[in-house]
Structure 1
Amino acid sequence: MSLSPRIIALLLASLISALTITFLTFVEGVTNAMVFVVGLSSFVISFFLVFYAIELLVFREVNKMYKTIHKLRIRDFTITRKSIIKNSNPFKKLNDEIFVYVARKQKEIDELKRLEQFRREFLADVSHELKTPIFAAQGFIHTLIDGAIDDEQVRDKFLAKAARSLDGLDALVKDLVALSQLETGEVKMSFERINLTHVTQEVFEQLEKVANAKRTSLQLKSSPGGPVWVKADPQRINQVMTNLVENAVKYGNENGRVTVSLEEDKKHVMVSVRDDGPGIPPEHLSRIFERFYRVEKSRSKDRGGTGLGLAIVKHILNAHKAKITVMSKVDKGTTFRFKLERMD
């Protein structure tokens, strides 16, 4: 038999009324009418007081706890700690505290699951990326060992290919080490006052051969003109600019244009690297800063690179307390933007 608040209140009110009447029967001078009135009054008052206490203070809050559990099951995390402080009802406080605690733990579990999935994907990607150049170099070297070394033309060709595969492996390992050091904070930034205009021009000179091969023009636009001074680590910002400009050239169109814009305001310099290439589909934009993520895996492989460049860029800029954003439209190009602290 399940007891509802109304039945419990009725039983307790009847018991209180009975005790009251029993007590009055031992008091001299009390008439039957008085006993009836007091008994009825105690019954009614007791019933409503007990019913209110049980219904509002216990059953209703317990029902809310069940609703809370239901919300947690469907992951509806909408209670804030501020609302708990305002509540004076201890049952409600307990209910909301349980909700907030479980919600926080659930989010931690979800984050751990996400990190575990990320770890598995990362290990699979690393295995694949390392396997490709190693197997290629092995194939060329074993072919030479099996007798092709006697043919001078074949020997030189295969040795050159093996060397390229090992160079790619070396670049991959270096990028992995750099990314690991950035993520763990082992790499300390050495902030200086640097001329961003000069850094960009140096990057253009370094990539001139790559740009000429695709007949791509490199342009620098600076809103004030002349030197643009920022607070940054010279080596790391050079790495950021090199990576962004090189990607813009590689993934842009033939006979295209890559434009680096520097725009100053009172406290910051906005840096934009824009290409007029095929752009990035919307479904890929949120993932392009992930390690080894490639929009078009086959075409990206043909163009070289380790797949870690944008992840390294993101971590370097995070260390500069800057956030990189990307805007892209298919067939209309891509623009990467970030801000650096200005120094006069």
Structure 2
Amino acid sequence: MRRVRIRSFLALSLLAVLTLSWTIYVIAAIGDAGALHLGEGRPSRAGVWIAALAGALLAAVFLGYGLRRWIARPLEAMGRSAREIAGGDLDVALPDSRIREIAEVRDGFEAMLAGLRQSLAEREALEEERRFFIGAIAHDLRTPLFALRGYLEGLEQGIAASPEQAKKYVAVCQDKAGQLDRLVSDLFAFVKTEYPRTARAGETLDLAEEVRRAVEGARGAAQAKEISIVAAPPGDEPNLISGDAHQLSRAFGNILENAVRHTPPRGSIVVRCRPEGDRVIVIVRDSGPGFDPEDLPRIFEPLYRGESSRSRDTGGAGLGLAIARRVFRAHGGDLTAANRPEGGAELRGWIPGSRV
């Protein structure tokens, strides 16, 4: 559809009015002069002006029709559409126009509608995720609570008659209390990473040193399974970043906890940290079974547990890797996962380097 600007439309309309009026005036004048030449009497100037006025009125009618059709009606339709949008109807059809300015307003409304539709879809998806999140957390909290309550009632009712049996009941209660503590801790960390406004406003850190500390923190759990866990030497180049040491410690802790949990006894975990271009990367490789190919695209989803690689029996809420990725992204980087060709899993994260 070819479009014209309002000023061009008005100029053409005015030109048409003047042309039509002048044409009628000239025709009337020529006719009056012909009548004089034939001896039919004196020319009537009033008749000429009446004809010219009639032509002007006719032209004005056509002009008003054009203004009504090409400008007023589209604007009225646009107003109705705007009211429908305000009423919540985002599927309203917007009118088109041959006038370029009106068409540009329409295109603006279309862009606004597209943005509103996208925002609404994202809000609905977020709300659905929140409902699922709350339901899953409630379920995971209820499971150890149910067991804890049962064992405590058994102790209260004297079911554990012998000291050995009572000790066993207490050990189970302690284990379930530990599960609850980990669930609440994971939930708190996950919610906190939803608002990473100040994540990168931290201090200058040596990422290799943060990784080394995380490895030392995971060494006890690894040794309990006779797993070798090693932090490869970082090399001579600096591994400096700007970030939040506490959040990064949490992220590395979650990654290593996941690796230890799914690495079989007498397996190995190797952690490397090195600069790569303007980034500092961290690679964690284990000798476990790796990720199920069907689970791999979803392992960073909150609360997702693959059948072969996640289990509620471990006490986790399926939030560890989701928290880790959020921390990396809050620092301007990212965290990805893959299976190694020779077997085992690999988690690779990166954060922009910091220049001192």
For normalisation by structure 2, the TM-score amounts to: 0.67
Whether contact under 8 Å (1:258, 1:275) holds in the other structure is: yes
Greater alpha carbon shift after TM alignment, 129-138 vs 267-276: 267-276
Whether contact under 8 Å (2:268, 2:286) holds in the other structure is: yes
Segments of structure 2 that go 5 or more residues without pairing to the other structure are 1-19, 35-62, 75-89, 92-97
Indicate the residue corresponding to 2:323 in structure 1: 312
- Relative to structure 1, the CA distance from residue 142 to residue 223 in structure 2 (aligned partners, 3 Å threshold; closer, same or farther) is closer
Distance 1:90 1:340 in 2: 45
- Fraction of identical pairs, as percent: 28
Indicate the residue corresponding to 2:104 in structure 1: 93
**Aligned residues between the structures:** 304
Counterpart AA for 1:217: S
- Relative to structure 1, the CA distance from residue 190 to residue 169 in structure 2 (aligned partners, 3 Å threshold; closer, same or farther) is farther
Listed as ranges, the matches of 1:1-344 within 5 Å are 28-29=31-32, 89-185=100-196, 191-222=202-233, 224-225=235-236, 228-265=239-276, 267-296=278-307, 299-328=310-339, 332-342=344-354
Whether contact under 8 Å (1:222, 1:263) holds in the other structure is: no
For normalisation by structure 1, the TM-score amounts to: 0.69
Segments of structure 1 that go 5 or more residues without pairing to the other structure are 1-16, 32-48, 61-71, 74-86
Whether contact under 8 Å (1:277, 1:334) holds in the other structure is: no
Whether contact under 8 Å (1:280, 1:329) holds in the other structure is: no
Distance 2:338 2:267 in 1: 18
Distance 2:264 2:319 in 1: 22
- Relative to structure 1, the CA distance from residue 328 to residue 58 in structure 2 (aligned partners, 3 Å threshold; closer, same or farther) is farther
Whether contact under 8 Å (2:239, 2:353) holds in the other structure is: no
The CA deviation string for residues 255-285 of structure 1, in whole angstroms up to 9 with x for no partner, is 4332212221453311122224333245434
Distance 2:102 2:247 in 1: 55
Counterpart AA for 2:326: H
Indicate the residue corresponding to 1:9 in structure 2: none
Aligned partner of residue 337 in structure 1, secondary structure: strand
Counterpart AA for 1:300: S
Counterpart AA for 2:350: F
Counterpart AA for 2:172: K
- Relative to structure 1, the CA distance from residue 187 to residue 150 in structure 2 (aligned partners, 3 Å threshold; closer, same or farther) is farther
- Compute the displacement of 1:105 (Å): 1.1
- Compute the displacement of 1:136 (Å): 0.8
- Compute the displacement of 1:137 (Å): 0.2
In our comparison, the structure showing a higher alpha carbon Rg is 2
Counterpart AA for 1:118: E
- Compute the displacement of 1:135 (Å): 0.5
- Relative to structure 1, the CA distance from residue 214 to residue 125 in structure 2 (aligned partners, 3 Å threshold; closer, same or farther) is same
